[in-house]
Structure 1
Amino acid sequence: MYAPGVTVLVPLKPLAEAKSRLRGAAPDHEDLVLALARATVRAALAAAGVARVLVVTRDPVAAAELRGCGAGVAADDGRDLNDALRRAAAAVAGPVAALPADLPALRPAELAQALAAAGGRRAFVPDADGVGTVLLVAAPGRPLDPRFGAGSAAAHERTGAARLTGDWPTLRRDVDTADDLAVVRGWGLLRTGATA
């Protein structure tokens, strides 16, 4: 195991702003964004070694909804996503990791395996395309130093984070586009925009 009691941070923009490339993929865009986040939070909470999940958001509807799934909430008072994650991580005592809110197919065992594979190093898991990042793990006692955004996998690698390449298809399948959503639905998940 990476370490007992990992706090997983899940950043979520205000629902009206989140997942803009998915607009039109479901009848109610905000319901779809919440469905993705609910599924992600539930899977993370069920993963061995995860002590708690904190959703980093300033959206009161999302905060209330995800508290109902068992997550805590950390206020998003950052300049951008990375600044919000840095601030939230700095307030956490103990091991910390960051996970996007758009992993609705995530199997808890895959997250647990990836955390274990980090082995006490600062490490990241690239998305299915190898370009983005679906998990960033801080080294114990060291800053998270997130670099999410375009080309984040290369950005994290440039800062010295170890690239983890395990067989974790559900962890690596984030949902950014309608095509991504079709893959997840093809797996029998997220059949409607309001279901998770």
Structure 2
Amino acid sequence: MTAGLHLLVPIKPLHLAKSRLLGALEHTPRRSQAHAALVTAVALDTVSAARGAAQVREVVAVTSDPELTAALRALGIGVLPDSPSAGLNAALRHADGVLRQGSAGMRVGALQADLPALRPDDLSAALEAAGDRRAFCPDRQGTGTTLLLAERDRPLDPRFGPDSAATHGDSGAVRLKGPWESLRCDVDTGADLRRATELGLGTHTRAHLAEHCSSGAAGR
């Protein structure tokens, strides 16, 4: 049975992911470890919220990082390797092909892994607005993409990168226009993290920041 959305969540290796978030952490000898733990916490909150959306049948992470893989599997999240290690779009194309192989009627989407304030109801509302169309949700700046949806039985055709919102629009994807702040609030910088904190962080990120966040970095 393939009804429902199969959602891919790509995550870079911990030592490469979200380097600009280092500024949100206290300067200690264990800062790099705290950064890796923050990236992990954000990813865990993202996938936990995503699988709570009514239309989502399955959430599958795309990563080859062993620590992330272990943490995700402990939550019951399936993991596909980041293959062929040629960037985000190549990894998503590969994972999309793996999911859809031999499965008629499947619909696949991609969700960015840096949405620690994501609420299942916001994601569900965006999916409802998309209907059966190829569609995308822009980030809060309007230039990036937090969610990309393929049509059923069609390739995902990801085009993430600079100005991906415009690029996905040019590919025929419908731009979803809604107030879903938690879906649009991706986190790249300390300022983004402060905004996500105002919206309400997931339990993993909130607990991590309570222990490691520098004064004022997340709006405390």
| TM bracket, shorter-chain basis | over 0.9
1:188, distance to aligned residue in structure 2 (A): 4.2
Aligned partner of 2:68: which letter? A
Percent identity between matched residues is 53
Partner of 2:95 in structure 1?
A: 88
1:24, distance to aligned residue in structure 2 (A): 2.8
1:31, 1:194 within 8 Å by CA — same for their partners in 2?
Answer: no
Cα distance in 2 for residues equivalent to 1:98 and 1:140: 13
Partner of 2:18 in structure 1?
A: 19
CA radius of gyration, larger in: 2
- Flag structure 2 segments of 5+ consecutive residues without an equivalent: 26-30, 101-105, 211-220
Aligned partner of 1:38: which letter? L
Greater per-residue helix proportion: 2
- Flag structure 1 segments of 5+ consecutive residues without an equivalent: none
Aligned partner of 2:98: which letter? A
Cα distance in 1 for residues equivalent to 2:199 and 2:165: 25
Indicate how the Cα distance of structure 1 residues 194 and 71 shifts in structure 2: closer, same or farther if over 3 A, else same. Answer: farther
Aligned partner of 2:50: which letter? A
Partner of 1:182 in structure 2?
A: 194
Runs of 4+ in 1 over 3 A off after TM superposition: 190-195
Q: Deviations over 1:143-163 (max 9, x none)?
A: 111111111101101111110
Cα distance in 2 for residues equivalent to 1:14 and 1:194: 20
Partner of 2:41 in structure 1?
A: 35
2:140, 2:184 within 8 Å by CA — same for their partners in 1?
Answer: yes
1:194, distance to aligned residue in structure 2 (A): 5.6
Partner of 2:131 in structure 1?
A: 119
Cα distance in 2 for residues equivalent to 1:134 and 1:182: 18
Worse overlay, 103-112 or 24-33? 24-33
TM-score by length of 1: 0.93
Q: Deviations over 1:75-101 (max 9, x none)?
A: 111311100001101122311100010
Within 5 A, what are the aligned runs for 1:1-196?
4-26=3-25, 27=31, 28-78=34-84, 79-93=86-100, 94-189=106-201, 190-193=205-208
1:97, 1:138 within 8 Å by CA — same for their partners in 2?
Answer: yes
Give the count of matched residue pairs: 193
2:182, 2:199 within 8 Å by CA — same for their partners in 1?
Answer: no
TM-score by length of 2: 0.83
Aligned partner of 1:20: which letter? S
1:35, 1:194 within 8 Å by CA — same for their partners in 2?
Answer: no
Cα distance in 1 for residues equivalent to 2:174 and 2:48: 26
**SS of residue matched to 2:192:** helix
1:135, distance to aligned residue in structure 2 (A): 0.3
Partner of 2:215 in structure 1?
A: none
